């Protein structure tokens, strides 16, 4: 029997209204009267509003809540809600009615990845039993912004208070992770002439990562890092896993396979219109870097570029000023005090010879006094010459670093009574004056620590180019002394800091290792050798047990 048209219209309108109104729970009691103003407010609210049963399963979710959860009402009802209950008196016991708590939870939302939700809940009892009303909102972007501000503040603090540029780079690399969703970060300084990677601050990367990308670069592998550096604009690569198919990236294959990176964002470091390096951020599967991520990395890169530029300018000024001052003092001491001591020594020797020719008894007080005066002046002259050599080693400036190290090592061995051997190139290394001075001081300080603390029988000094990169110099001092704990308080740590600062000023990295079998001080300096060195022995830093991390 046909229904009246009016009945059909009413039934159809009722079905249409149910489809539009999520408060109609398809046979379940409505949480709020359907036709009330409150129902409209709940349904159309900008916040997510939900009702949970005693087992914390969805009973109802409004339109905004469904949108936040990335699912429809029918898909949510009956499923367990992700909200962690407020603290309870015991397992499974609900909070008391009226006890309102505010919390955060991270949940996976469809293809949108993980999202951060802030929520407030309130428990109550109705005719159906225990219920929990929840209001929630997506705060992922807001929390990301807060992380970015916090990271930027930490970076500014690092730039102000860090003791060395390396500390700044390591800290900024770590601070760049959370605000952008990256799982690893590298800050690389690049030589503008050779494009060699000189230093890196890293977070979430293996210790030898910089060496791996440098070797890949030398094999001719296309690098987003170099693309960003040369173009002076960000470069994004979303096919990192395809590098596993390219033999040019072989040095990086293990790192890429283990970390499962899928994309990398490279942002250039530019200061005073000069390219200094690149900040690289690495992202896993499921996180496609956004424009906001790149923009934030750009802000961080700008701060790092200023710090790097200032550190390089300051290092150059300090190095040149110190070098000039040492040369001035050496000249003054040589032209005044040293000449005066030499003159006193000649006069004392002349008086001694005259006394002998006059038949003065050698045991007479005057003869003994003249002999003592001669001995004192000759000793003072020897000390003065040693001091002048330390201020301005003549061999360093006339014959180069290799010759100066050999002569200094021979002097230390003769004075202290232990064996010192030097392995280096036969000809002069192609270093500039500042680099020669800095590296001589590193070797000098390491030998001084051996004399003062190590009690060794043998010391080996190496000044050799790295086999993997002819422009990289490896300076290494090994001893078989008593050893020490590098991280523990130690009287020699001031010297360690000095060696580390000198190495970093040249764009390198110092590694100090020690055990009961002896100690090793190693400085690896990429791109410090400017000219092609003559044929000679090379040193494969990667074949050694200790890792090289320029």
Q: How far apart are CA 141 and CA 167, in angstroms?
A: 29
Q: How far apart are CA 252 and CA 353, in angstroms?
A: 75
What digits encode the pLDDT tens for the residues 275-298? 889 999 999 887 888 887 888 888
Residue 139's contacts (CB-CB under 8 Å, 6 or more residues apart) are: 104, 116, 117, 118
> What is the predicted pLDDT for the residue at 541?
39
> What is the predicted pLDDT for the residue at 461?
94
Longest dimension (CA), the chain: 157
Instruction: Set out the domains of the chain in order of their start, with CATH numbers.
Output: 17-138 (3.30.450.20), 143-306 (3.30.450.40), 395-550 (3.30.565.10)
Q: How many residues does the chain have?
A: 550
| Predicted structure pTM score | 0.45
The DSSP annotation for 463-494 comes to EEEETTEEEEEEEEEEE-S----TTS--TTHH
CA distances from 16 to 3, 66, 152, 246 (A): 18, 19, 52, 59
CB neighbour burial string for 147-186, b if at least 16 within 10 angstroms, e if fewer: bbeebbeebeebbeebeebbebbbbbbbbbbebbbbbbbb
> What is the predicted pLDDT for the residue at 547?
27
Q: How far apart are CA 490 and CA 500, in angstroms?
A: 15
Structural Rg of the chain based on CA atoms? 37
Residues in the chain with pLDDT values less than 70: 1-35, 86-102, 110-112, 142-164, 199, 311-339, 381-397, 426-427, 485-494, 530-550
> What is the predicted pLDDT for the residue at 371?
82
> What is the predicted pLDDT for the residue at 338?
65
């Amino acid at each position: 029997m046909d229904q009246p048209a009016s009945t059909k219209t009413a039934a159809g309108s009722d079905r249409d209204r149910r489809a539009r109104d999520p408060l109609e729970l398809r046979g379940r009691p409505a949480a709020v009267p359907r036709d009330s103003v409150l129902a409209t407010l709940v349904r159309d609210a900008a916040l997510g509003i939900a009702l949970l049963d005693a087992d914390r399963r969805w009973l109802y979710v409004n339109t905004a809540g469904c949108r936040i959860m990335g699912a429809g009402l029918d898909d949510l009802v009956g499923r367990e809600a992700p909200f962690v209950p407020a603290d309870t008196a015991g397992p499974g016991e609900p909070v008391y009615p009226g006890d309102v708590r505010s919390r955060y939870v991270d949940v996976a939302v469809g293809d949108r990845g993980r999202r951060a939700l802030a929520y407030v809940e309130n428990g109550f009892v109705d005719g159906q039993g225990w219920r929990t009303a929840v209001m929630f909102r997506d705060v992922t972007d807001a929390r990301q912004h807060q992380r970015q501000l916090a990271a930027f503040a930490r970076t500014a603090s690092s730039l102000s208070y860090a003791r060395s540029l390396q500390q700044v780079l390591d800290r900024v690399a770590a601070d760049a992770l959370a605000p952008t969703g990256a799982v690893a970060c590298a800050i690389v300084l690049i030589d503008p002439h050779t494009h060699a990677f000189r230093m890196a601050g890293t977070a979430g990367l293996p210790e030898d990562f910089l060496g791996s990308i440098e070797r890949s670069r030398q094999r001719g592998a296309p690098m987003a890092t170099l693309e960003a550096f040369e173009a002076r604009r960000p470069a994004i690569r979303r096919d990192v896993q395809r590098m596993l198919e390219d033999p040019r990236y072989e040095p990086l294959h293990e790192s890429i396979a283990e970390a499962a990176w899928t994309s990398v964002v490279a942002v250039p470091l530019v200061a005073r219109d000069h390219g200094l390096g690149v900040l690289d951020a690495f992202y896993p599967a499921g996180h496609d870097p956004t424009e906001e991520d790149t923009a934030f990395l750009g802000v961080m890169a700008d701060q790092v570029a200023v710090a790097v530029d200032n550190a390089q300018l300051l290092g150059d000024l300090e190095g040149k000023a110190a070098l000039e001052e040492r040369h001035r003092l050496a000249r003054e001491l040589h032209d005044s005090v040293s000449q005066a001591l030499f003159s006193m020594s000649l006069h004392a020797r002349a008086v001694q010879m005259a006394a002998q020719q006059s038949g003065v008894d050698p045991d007479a007080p005057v003869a003994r006094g003249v002999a003592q005066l001669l001995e004192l002046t000759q000793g003072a002259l020897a000390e003065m010459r040693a001091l002048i050599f330390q201020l301005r080693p003549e061999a360093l400036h006339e014959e180069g670093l290799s010759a100066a190290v050999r002569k200094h090592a021979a002097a230390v061995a003769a004075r202290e009574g232990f064996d010192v051997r030097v392995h280096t190139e036969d000809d002069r290394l192609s270093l500039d004056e500042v680099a020669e001075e800095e590296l001589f001081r590193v070797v000098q300080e390491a030998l001084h620590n051996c004399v003062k603390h190590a009690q060794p029988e043998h010391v080996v000094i190496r000044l050799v180019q790295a086999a993997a990169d002819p422009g990289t110099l490896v300076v290494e001092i090994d001893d078989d002394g008593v050893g020490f704990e590098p991280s523990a308080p130690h009287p020699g740590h001031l010297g360690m800091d000095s060696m580390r600062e000198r190495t970093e000023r040249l764009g390198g990295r110092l590694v100090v290792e020690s055990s009961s079998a002896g100690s090793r001080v190693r400085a690896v300096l990429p791109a410090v050798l400017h000219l092609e060195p003559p044929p000679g022995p090379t040193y494969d830093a990667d074949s050694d047990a200790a890792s090289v991390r320029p």
